[in-house]
Amino acid sequence: MHRAHHERLPVRRRRPVHLGTLPLGPGRTIAPDPRTTSVTTLSAPTERWGAPRREPLTMKSPDTVGFIGLGLQGTPIARRLVNAGHPVTVWNRTPAKTEPLLAEGAHEATSPAEVMEASDVVILCVTDAAAVEEVTFGPAGLASTATPGKLVVDHSSIRPQTARDLANRLATESGASWVDAPVSGGVAGATAGTLTIMAGGAQTDFDRADTLFAAYARRRTLIGPVGSGQTVKLCNQIIVATTSWGLAEATQVAAAAGLDPARLPEYLEGGLADSPLLRAYQPHMVAGHDTSLASIENLIKDLDSALDLARKTNCPVPLVAQVTELLRTAVKWTPPAEAGRFIDLLKGPQAQ
């Protein structure tokens, strides 16, 4: 694998703590060995797009890793990389968010440029396209120290054309490569290592990144060239948004008819309406509102991207347009970070 041919900047390191065995899925665990950088990864790479990978085997990763964006989802992803034995350098706009990972063995950088200089592969997990562009091409950004052989993997959700534009610009300015790799599965999936990754990029770049993906994603698929992963993520968000609104209406109907809406997932278990979304999201609509789910504002951002793509491809999406505006209205009245609260728009003033 490629490596930078220059000295790495000094980074601060703290003594790692022993974390015991790591869960890799039902019935499988691996104990981290501080003497190696062993990870679980997939069987021999496929040469055709669209074939998911799930079969694990053990191999050493030759790459050092940088990670930028330690939010609700980024932190557990970075933690799983550290716990799997990868050398990880982290940076975040809010430095305090790096502290837990430094205590577990990560290194600290003072800028995105330093992350790139210290790493072979840099993973981004930030809020939106503006944040991706800022850490990549802003002052002390990744591009300032990127060189041929370096790889940027972007887990952020941005528009497909934006991903292509950023990738082309980085390649032109530095010779570095780009894989767009949005994820699905939420905070719970990141914590458990069961995320789904939808990737776009060159086969060789995907194969290289996949030795890292295996630490936190159960299913990883190369869809096509750069931008393809973001397109599939928009399809995912369309399904999530429209289904979630249906869940809210079904919850309200159950309550209005005198049923206990909290038991709706139990009543529907095993039927056609049963789904991970029903089991994970509907309870947040009934009680116990919290901020463990992604913000509704992030979902609206992705739906706006989907609507933009639909208009440019002359594809009618009337339901998506309606649900987007319903959610946009809901966040005027309910806390967007408490994602399940959008149901309050259906409940009316008594919900306030």
DSSP codes of every residue in 7-32:
PPPP-EE--------EEEETTEEE--
- State phi, psi for 200 to the nearest 5 degrees: -130, 135
Q: Which DSSP state fits 158?
A: -
Asked if residue 293 lies in contact with residue 186, where contact means CB atoms within 8 angstroms, the answer is yes
pLDDT of residue 292: 72
User: How does pLDDT run across 302-331, given as a tens digit for each residue?
Assistant: 999 999 999 999 999 999 999 999 999 999
Dihedral class, residue 104 (left if φ above 0, else alpha if ψ from -120 to 50, else beta): alpha
Residues marked active site are found at 233
Q: Which residues of the chain have pLDDT under 50?
A: 1-47, 55-58, 60
User: How does pLDDT run across 41-91, given as a tens digit for each residue?
Assistant: 333 344 456 667 654 434 545 789 999 999 999 999 999 999 999 999 999
pLDDT of residue 62: 72
pLDDT of residue 53: 62
pLDDT of residue 294: 77
